[in-house]
């Protein structure tokens, strides 16, 4: 990838070379104030070529940033549920549900009294809702998406839980909640971990 200083230096060299080619011949006076039409057209052509090269890289950067933003929201929501369980000395659950159309997700955190019939955000037991149903990021899991932390911040259950966060299959991250309650993440799919 070309750096901005390299691009500017190249444009200056092209402009200087064109200026030397366009010098007036004997008997004609030289004007020293501005750019010629050819210099301007060459500069615009080079700028268009550079923009054409940069746009695809910029689009992939936007996709990665969306994935990382949603990934961080999931990490924050799960960490919040764990810290609330320890603070309250009671069970706290976090449920991540994918949107029905496959795009987007919703994370709900609530005090788990064992009844399981909490309506977020209207219920007083509901502690937090992160609604990303309009997101282009998908979340999948092999379980029902419910993570329950006990009063010590450990996972209530017999096995760890993994969430795979992806954007169109091109970029993927895995979030895992271990039996100790530790929330961790890695780049790539969950199948390799």
Asked if omega into 120 is within 30° of 0 (cis), the reply is no
Rounded CA separation 7/134 (Å): 39
* Per-residue model confidence (pLDDT) at position 113: 74
Angle at CA 127, nearest 5°, toward 85 and 140? 85
Q: Is 7 helix (H, G, I), strand (E, B) or coil?
A: helix
Mean predicted confidence (pLDDT) in 64-91: 91
Write out pLDDT tens, residues 79-100: 999 999 999 999 999 988 887 7
Is it the case that residue 2 has pLDDT exceeding 70?
no
Write out pLDDT tens, residues 123-180: 777 888 888 887 888 888 877 888 999 999 999 877 889 988 888 777 889 899 999 9
Is it the case that residue 26 has pLDDT exceeding 60?
no
Q: Which H, E and C letters describe 45-81, residue by residue?
A: HHHHHHHHHHHHHHHHHHHHHHHHHHHHHHHHHHHHH
Rounded CA separation 23/26 (Å): 10
């Amino acid at each position: 990838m070309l750096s901005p200083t390299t691009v500017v230096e190249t444009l200056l060299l092209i402009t200087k070379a064109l200026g030397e080619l366009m010098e007036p011949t004997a008997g004609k006076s030289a004007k020293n104030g501005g750019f010629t039409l050819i210099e301007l057209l060459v500069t615009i052509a080079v700028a268009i070529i550079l923009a054409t090269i940069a746009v695809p890289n910029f689009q992939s950067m936007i996709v990665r940033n969306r994935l990382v933003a949603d990934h961080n929201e999931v990490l924050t929501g799960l960490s919040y549920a764990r810290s609330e369980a320890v603070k309250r000395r009671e069970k706290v659950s976090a449920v991540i549900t994918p949107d029905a159309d496959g795009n987007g997700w919703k994370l709900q955190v609530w005090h788990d009294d064992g009844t399981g019939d909490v309506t977020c955000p209207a219920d007083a037991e509901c502690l937090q809702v992160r609604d990303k149903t309009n997101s282009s990021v998908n979340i999948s899991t092999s379980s029902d998406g419910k993570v329950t932390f006990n009063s010590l911040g450990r996972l209530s259950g017999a096995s760890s839980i993994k969430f795979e966060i992806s954007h169109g299959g091109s970029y993927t991250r895995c979030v895992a909640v271990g039996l100790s309650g530790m929330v961790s993440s890695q780049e790539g799919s969950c199948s390799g971990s």
